[in-house]
Structure 1
Amino acid sequence: MKPRQRQQIIQELIIARGEASVDKLAEHFGVSAETIRRDLGVLDTLGVIKKIHGGAARVRLHSEKSFHERMSERTTEKRVIAEKVAKLIEPNETVFLDTGSSTLICAEVLGAIEGLTVITNSVMIAQTSGASSRGAKTFLLGGCFGADNSETVGPLVIEQIQRFQADTAVITVAAFDAEMGAMDSDFDEAQVARAMISRARRTIVLADSSKLGRIAAFNVAKTEDIDILVSGSNVGTGFAAAIKTKGIEFR
């Protein structure tokens, strides 16, 4: 078994059990304790498990701050991400944008592209897109309103998404792992994102560098369902290489 395959299984075992000892893992895989320690060191560096005395434990699932707090954090990096996305979108495309601080900044930048159709569950993104001077057509999905994020979620939103077909889904997430894919810390938002992805020909995931190598509670997309991952400039070469081996274009 190749080291990366063994490390993936170790990661899954620790996530499922909560923790595991070096001795038990060595016995399970039929390798030396030193080999397991090296594997745990790699996984600890990636941030997917935490080394403890004699073994390793599951890391706490990543959660997000309030929308207002996130809007004031990493603004420069999010602007860089938005500029990268703008280079990937063609005039007259139909684009899903889900709720998030990164997608809100993205909506501002995309406003310079001619003739877009934007479909969103975010009131603020709808307002931003609707104010575009380039003739953007904006659809705001209706549903249960969440005041904190100024968004709509729930079954009505999911139902309406099924009525559209988009060229691109631009999705922001709470966490991204090279093996597990894109994840969110909010159940309703994860459902909206999954529905948008299912109705788009191409999926672009946005994740600033603080979200890479993390795990959150709710799956949004497997790696094979993601076409492009867009992040900032502070990304390690190891992580970028791991993403590319999954067939994901990394920007």
Structure 2
Amino acid sequence: MSWFATPSPNGRSLATGALIMLADPLSPAAEAYRSLAANLQFAYADRQLQTIGITSAAPGEGKSTTVANLAIALAQGGRRVIVVDADLRRPGQHTLFGLESQQEGLANVLLGEYPHLPLQDTAAPGVRLLTSGTATADPLEALGSRRFDHVLALARAQADFVLVDTPPAGALADAAVLAPRLEGMLLVVSAGRTKRDMARRAREQLERVNANLLGVVLTDVRGDDKLYRY
């Protein structure tokens, strides 16, 4: 399992939601996301790795921000990327990408309201977004349905990478339902927030369902921290 570090940009937490890849593309934090994107592409070049879930041990650790910035880094490398906001309880990708309100999205497809994916273009070229949607559905039941496999199949046909923003693995069962159906998972933990036992529980939760845990993304790492490495 690999470790990836993303430093705090100018002392700010990445959990605040900044798209550093667009706001400050020459910063150490942006370079860290480019490094993560390169590692995912080259380290796993000999195996199928198209659908990747990103989860965290608890809310507020920078999971959704990591998804969005990683998507932009992959797209800037010439890849077609679809971001799927599967955090039906606390969706945030539409806000991160500057979309003023929720649009029809994943929940609507899972309830059979759409035969296709209502994807939205974002300000980042090459990145399209499937929001969590406007329909009301039981998250665990909806994400566990066969329709989610159909969503993945449709997304795979239209993108080189499909990044799935999942709920925290340490707090909810939703991520454990999704993980076995994805080709890889990344676990996001905050250097200044996540307690060790909470991170361990999240990892064990993923291992129990035989998730392919690709690595841990350590957010909010100080530039002088000894863990700041790639």
Bucket of the pairwise TM-score, normalised by the shorter protein: 0.3 to 0.5
Greater relative contact order (Cα < 8 A, sep 6+): 2
Indicate the structure with greater helix content. Answer: 1
Please identify which structure carries the higher strand content: 1
The TM-score normalised by the length of structure 2 is 0.46
Q: Quick check: which has more Rg, 1 or 2?
A: 1
Q: TM-score, normalised by structure 1?
A: 0.43
